[in-house]
Amino acid sequence: MTDPLAAVAVAKASDLKPEALGRVVVVYGGNSAEREVSLRSGAAVLAGLLRAGVDAVGLDFRGNVQALISEQPDLVFIALHGRGGEDGTLQGLLDVLGMAYTGSGVLGSALCMDKLRSKRLWQGYGLPTPDFISSVEMAGEDLTADDVVTRLGLPLFVKPSHEGSSVGMSRVNSAGELASALVEAEKYDSEVLIERFVQGSEYTAAVVGDVVLPLIRIETPREFYDYAAKYQSGDTLYHCPSGLAIDEERQLKQLCKQAFDTAGASGWGRVDIMVDENIGPQLIEVNTVPGMTDTSLVPMAADAKSLSFEGLVLRIAQLAVFNAQTNNDKKTNKNSKPSNTPTTGAPSVAAHGGPA
C-alpha cells in the first residue's frame, strides 16, 4: 500500500522546475567491473537531463574528488555501478562534502550491495529468499562440495557478494563444478554467495519514489540471465505487461517494495525476484543504481507508464533535490530550537552527550 505522506512528497518533488535543480553533475564510469555499463548509463542520463532542460555536466569519477568539487554541483546524479559508486562509499563522501545526491544513502547502498547481508536481513523479517551459504561459512564449517549440494540441492548459483550485472556469476550443475565456480567468483570478491537454484519465471520491479512501476518478465534462451544476456545479445525477451493476473502483480509489487524498504533503499532502484513453481516468490537482490542503458529495465518500465527517459531522470533528480531540501529544513528547525542546557549551576547529563 502506498504511503500517503510519501505520495505527497513525490507530488511536491514533481513540481520542481528543471532550473530549480541547479547544476547537476552526473558521475559515471569509475573503476569497478561494471565500468563499461556505467559509461553507457551515465551518457544516457546526461543526455536525458539536457533534453529535459537541466543544467547538467558529466564526470568520469575515478576518485578524483577535487574535480567533483570544482564542478560545484547542487546535485550529484549517481550513475556509477558496482563498487565505489553503489556500495555506500561515494554516498559517504558526498555526505561529508555536504552534496545532495540521487538514490539511497550510505546504509541502504551498502546493505543492498552486499547480497549476503541483505538476504540475512530479509530472512530476519520473514521475507522469502532462496536458501544459501557463503564461501566463508563453507570454509569455517569445513564443508565439502558434496556437503553443500546435500544442503542446498542442484543446480546452484555462485556469485560474488559485492558485484552486480552478473559479473563473476556461474551456474553449478554438479558438485564437481563448484570449485571452479568459486575460483571465478573469488576473482571479484573475497566473500562468495552460494545460492539454491530457483526454477520459475524471473521478474524485476522498478521503484521510483514510492511508486513501483509495472513488472517486467525476463525470458532468456541462455542458461541464466548473465552479463551477455543483459548487455550484449539480442535474444533476451522482455515482457511488459508481465502477463501476470492483476492480483498476482499487485502482490509481487508489494513484496518488492517491502524488500526495498527493509534493506534501507530509497529514491529509486530495482528489485529482482523469481517466482518458484513450487514455493512461490523468492527475492534475489536490490539494485540501488540500476542500469540506464538502451537495454535497461527501469526505463522500459517507466515507458510502460508513459514516462519518457528524460521524464524519468528528471523525476529521480527532482526527488533527490526535494528530499535534500526537506532534510535541511528539519536540521535547521532542530538547530533553531532553544537549548535545554542550564546557564547556571551544574551542567545537565544531556550537555555531556549522555541521556537526558
Last residue of a domain, one of 157, 181, 197: 197
Residue 182 lies in a domain: yes
Same domain, 33 and 85: yes
Please tell me whether residue 100 adopts helix, strand or coil conformation: coil
- Active site (catalytic) residues: 34, 165, 231, 270, 272, 285, 287, 291
How confident is the model over 161-207, as pLDDT tens digits? Answer: 998 757 899 999 999 999 999 999 999 999 999 999 999 999 999 99
Last residue of a domain, one of 197, 215, 247: 197
Q: Once rounded to an integer, what is the mean pLDDT over residues 76-103?
A: 97
State the CATH number of the domain containing residue 181: 3.30.1490.20
Q: Once rounded to an integer, what is the mean pLDDT over residues 246-270?
A: 98
Same domain, 67 and 18: yes
How confident is the model over 116-170, as pLDDT tens digits? Answer: 999 999 999 999 999 999 999 999 999 999 999 999 999 999 999 998 757 899 9
pLDDT of residue 343: 40
Domain span including residue 179: 131-197
State the CATH number of the domain containing residue 89: 3.40.50.20
Q: Once rounded to an integer, what is the mean pLDDT over residues 271-298?
A: 94
How confident is the model over 7-35, as pLDDT tens digits? Answer: 556 667 888 999 999 999 999 999 998 99
Same domain, 90 and 164: no
CA distance 225 to 35: 19
Q: What is the CA radius of gyration of the chain?
A: 22
Please give the model's pTM, rounded to 2 decimal places: 0.88
pLDDT of residue 332: 66
| Number of domains the chain is built from | 2
CA distance 253 to 190: 33
User: Could you write out the DSSP letters of every residue in 153-168?
Assistant: -SSEEEEETT--TTTT
Same domain, 98 and 135: no
CA distances from 26 to 43, 86, 134, 219, 320 (A): 9, 14, 35, 32, 13
